[in-house]
Structure 1
């Protein structure tokens, strides 16, 4: 947790400082003014002399001049200076003063301004232009910045909108963000050979390689390289290190991009491997012979098999580490000056390889704005989108890019859907399969995943808001009430598909939990009869048709009238039934926000001034 001090110059400033302390747990409020809510200090100058470097964030409440004169003697550089913010004691303006990007002053300024309703004053050029903050991207996305020239010079080129080429050798959360927020003067490339350097003044490369050009290059090296190695016992540490670096350089691979080193378990105590891992600050991971033999390697060795019982150490280790069967560097055999030998193979982490993938995305209950941010971003970038028009609003597909293929799958068989996906998968496309609500709840995705597994198609799932959650919102209800009901049951009635013996509705009803019953409107009478075995007839019930859609219908009543409500309103498909005393309940209070309840973010304790 970062250390924050709020320095107030006036009584009004102390009151305002105490107000914003709630945004910074365990922060310290100091003032030269005697005040029961602040720690009194003799002078700001004396306090900063002893404490300037002890805090990550300094928030001054008072005149900007006091702030500037107070911090001036202690400023070093933006890489080490704390974030300094100044705000007037009438809460009109909050200004980032020092370390806007690296120290986070700009973000803190926005946070404080939002908390008190003030105007945030940001003077950093890239922020004002809504450009990438090149000096903080590495920290934000877990990369390592390696500029070919002075970083400030490269930033100057960028904020002055000089033509820039962006090379993306991998894909991750950061590259997706860059693509989504691409400035007009930046062109994106996925192949270095396609770039004409003479057309640009700056190259930004998110990569695992090192590029040398006649224009400045800002490398963002991503830890994605997995190095597998074998060696002679007690190989010299310095000679192994030199050899590895030479191999990397020969392939234009950066040591800064190494994520892990691997070998066979009999090498767990090999000094040279351990030392290299420590220098690179990466883990050294070993595998058993049995694990290594699970890999189909390019260059198996009968010699290694006879000695260690494995076909490969270096290639197999790299494959296991990376979960990738393709190698960037096949096994190399190197003899170091001492005469001892080592092997090396390198693979790229499978998670960052630019390849086809299927994203099964929860589209939410019906309202197009209830899709998750991640889901929306995937729809915006997808090459193929499949959705069931009867269950998912067409408005969600309006987020798609112009060149995307968008198909309503309602009239397609599963085989036809898979066939279309395979066509796009073969082209390396991003495929989005939209599922109503949350895919994990009656999403019928198991059969799709089975086929994906059989065909070796990579996929992942993005959760969505379920209709039962949208129902709670529409009913303005919390489904778990302190000391009344603390469980929610998601289930359905026994229709054409029978229920497991221990999941019959009358058995589930014994718990008297908040029950959310899906896919059961056509058997409402049976549902009512089973629930009445344990719920009181007057138990609140809500029947929701197409919840959160524009034509949403909500009917409330008592359990004894459930079948009548469904019948009279002719409800069948896309109907959800909620049963339980939590519907509309208001009386009981949670301990979470009780004044007597203490927790990590509300301890009542403050830091002490030195």
Structure 2
């Protein structure tokens, strides 16, 4: 669908289909029902032809409910171009089929068809060849991930799509890494192969799909057509002489340098310079087209650059402007164009650090134990990782069985922190993907702070994929809502004071004063002390649940009262991977939200 779904017209061929239209109207915001008879809640018109002649292109989409032939004859006079025509879907009068009629990809009719079919419980009928064959929709793929789309010189998008859907040999080449490239790698059609270097692409390749910022037209075979998906990932740093001019000459030189380096201008994300140059005409001109920002000399001077200059330092207070500004604005990404000197300017270009190729570390939350409770992103990362370093006995090894052939899978149980970092850095420095797999959510007692400190020290790029924490698994397994309207509205995640001291303000008895639902981690070994602390504020009969290895095959859950907590833990020999839950929310079925209390009271009357 188009970005703004402002209006969807529901046009009734037969008034008997009004209930179908009303169902769709309830589920599709901004939709209206158009009829030629008077009906409550509907827009009336004496003639569909007269109405559509004036309003057809004012709607984002039209849904005809009735015969396909009538739908086609009705819209035929108003069709102009697939890039501007609205989406059209036809639903038969019984609601059994939803058919994509017009503007399937570009206009969003295919997406709307699936949506309509889901609402009505109908069968979606989509005839677009790429959809029928399970192929990428090349004309809309870029929009999903914020990429500009551009076919190579002398090539139309239709020619590209024709080669692709006909299954001709296709190469896929990445200059960057993001969600979109992850998706493409996961969903490769049989006739598409990923290449790391353009030089490796065979001469008989008929289509190159390049995702990134480089122009490859000069490197591919004449029989190969190119489709570029261009993310905005290039950050340009500019150093300027005072009143650098003429402005047009400097800006044209900028684009000439991009062309000389075979970089695509559409990939420019930002332009940066030193704040001393805020009033330079060149930067004002560039600000008409790009986001331009400025750094102080002190900020620029924190960046190590390949080509520092004593002359630049003398005039600006920093050893670099162009290179340092490019690196800063890219978030520490690599320079792909070191400093280039012009007559009265310097120029450097860096790639956004979050998207640059090379080594990467993904810290993944494994969830509470059940391999099916890891996130989709976490699973995808495991499937493509070159190294999986998992947290020993805290994470079931079954989670790593999806590793690709040739991947290294290691337990960190026998390693100290320095050994773990050394192993990950070795893979990282070789441009590999490392997954550090932690139990639950890694940000809750996950011990990742020390690792991130090392990653920052070495300048290693990393990202965190959250996981389902065991306290959420506890709520699910206990069939409990941990927040009860007007009774308990706070959940406290904490631990008892064992070998790791607790801040004075976070002593258990102080936290217990709120009578909140308390989830206590890593404390089975000190259950007696925990019980004594909690009994200072909670009543002895407060419900308690001791949860051992939540969602694992050998999961065990023991319910009782707070006064019996220590006995429960001791009698059942519970140690590691045990979560203690305390509070009246456990198993509570009292208290209704205002939604139910005010609007659905009749459902609960005896």
User: TM-score, length-normalised on structure 1?
Assistant: 0.92
2:239 counterpart of 1:230:
yes
Q: 1:455 and 1:410 mapped to 2: Cα distance? A: 23
- Residue 211 (structure 1) aligned to one of 205, 208, 216: 216
Moved more, 434-443 or 500-509: 500-509
Show CA shifts across 1:577-599 (max 9, x none). 111121222332223578879xx
Partner residue of 1:353 out of 332, 347, 356: 356
Q: Which residue of 1 aligns with 2:276?
A: 266
**Among candidates 48, 54, 78, match of residue 82 of structure 2:** 78
Rounded Cα–Cα distance in structure 1 between residues aligned with 2:493 and 2:332: 39
Cα deviation code 1:413-443 (max 9, x no counterpart): 3333223222212211111111000111111
Q: 2:372 aligns with which of 358, 369, 387?
A: 369
The 8 Å contact of residues 10 and 33 in structure 1, kept in 2 or not, is answered as: no
Matching of residue 5 in structure 1 with residue 14 in structure 2:
no
Q: Name 1:90's counterpart in structure 2.
A: 94
Q: Distance in 2 between matches of 1:593 and 1:127?
A: 42
Matches within 5 A, 1:54-203: 54-148=58-152, 149-196=155-202, 198-203=203-208
Rounded Cα–Cα distance in structure 2 between residues aligned with 1:453 and 1:332: 29
SS in 2 for 1:399: coil
Name 1:604's counterpart in structure 2. none
Unpaired stretches in structure 1, ≥5 consecutive residues:
336-340, 598-610
Which stretch of the first structure deviates more once superposed, 408-417 or 133-142? Answer: 408-417
CA shift for structure 1 position 29: 2.6
Residues 367, 277 of structure 1: CA spacing in aligned structure 2 closer, same or farther, 3 A cutoff?
same
Output aligned runs, 1:523-542, within 5 Å: 523-542=526-545
Match of 1:387 among 390, 414, 428: 390
Q: Which deviates the most, 95-104 or 235-244?
A: 235-244
Aligned partner of 2:337 among 329, 351, 357: 329
Q: CA deviation at 1:326?
A: 4.0
Q: Structure 1: how far apart are the matches of 2:75 and 2:260?
A: 48
TM-score by length of 2: 0.92
Structure 1 residue 124 displacement after superposition: 1.0
Between the two structures, name the one with larger relative contact order (CA 8 Å, sep ≥ 6).
1
Between 318-327 and 157-166, report the one with greater CA deviation.
Answer: 318-327
Question: SS of the residue aligned with 1:344?
Answer: strand
In the aligned structure 2, how far is the partner of 1:270 from the partner of 1:70? 58
1:287-298 aligned at under 5 Å gives the runs: 287-298=295-306
Residue in 2 that maps onto 1:241: 251
| Number of the residue aligned with 2:294 | 286
For residues 421 and 217 of structure 1, do their structure 2 counterparts lie closer, same or farther at Cα, with a shift above 3 Å needed? Answer: same
> Does the C-alpha gap of structure 1 residues 326 and 488 become closer, same or farther in structure 2, counting only changes over 3 Å?
closer
The verdict on how the C-alpha distance between 1:412 and 1:318 changes in structure 2, with shifts beyond 3 A counting, is closer
SS of residue matched to 1:352:
coil
Looking at structure 2, the residues matched to 560 and 34 of structure 1 have their Cα atoms a distance apart, in angstroms, of 70
After superposition, residues 481-520 of structure 1 pair within 5 angstroms as 481-520=484-523
Partners of 1:121 and 1:52 lie apart in 2 by: 23
The structural deviation recorded for 1:327 is 2.5
- CA deviation profile, 1:531-552 (whole Å, cap 9, x unmatched): 2222223322222111111221
Deviates more, 1:480-489 or 1:495-504: 495-504
Query: Deviation digits for residues 534-576 of structure 1, max 9, x if unmatched?
Result: 2223322222111111221122222233233323333222111
Contact 2:388 2:437 in 1 (8 A): yes
Q: Which deviates the most, 72-81 or 451-460?
A: 451-460
Distance, in Å, in 1 between the alignment partners of 2:386 and 2:537 is 51
Secondary structure of the residue aligned to 1:157 is helix
Query: In the aligned structure 1, how far is the partner of 2:529 from the partner of 2:332?
Result: 53
| Pair 1:12–1:575, CA change in 2 (3 A) | farther
| Deviation readout 1:170-201 (Å, 9 max, x if unpaired) | 211111111111111111112112222x2211
Q: 1:90 to 1:585 in 2, by over 3 A?
A: farther
Which of 482, 501, 510 lines up with 1:479 in the alignment?
482
Distance 2:509 2:214 in 1: 63
**Worse-matched range after superposition: 362-371 or 492-501:** 492-501
Q: Corresponding residue for 1:338?
A: none
Cα RMSD between the aligned structures? Answer: 2.1
Query: Is the CA contact 2:353–2:461 (under 8 Å) kept in the aligned structure 1?
Result: no
Check conservation: 1:9, 1:33, Cα contact below 8 A: no
In 1, Cα distance between the equivalents of 2:398 and 2:511? 37
Q: Indicate whether 1:573 and 2:576 are aligned.
A: yes
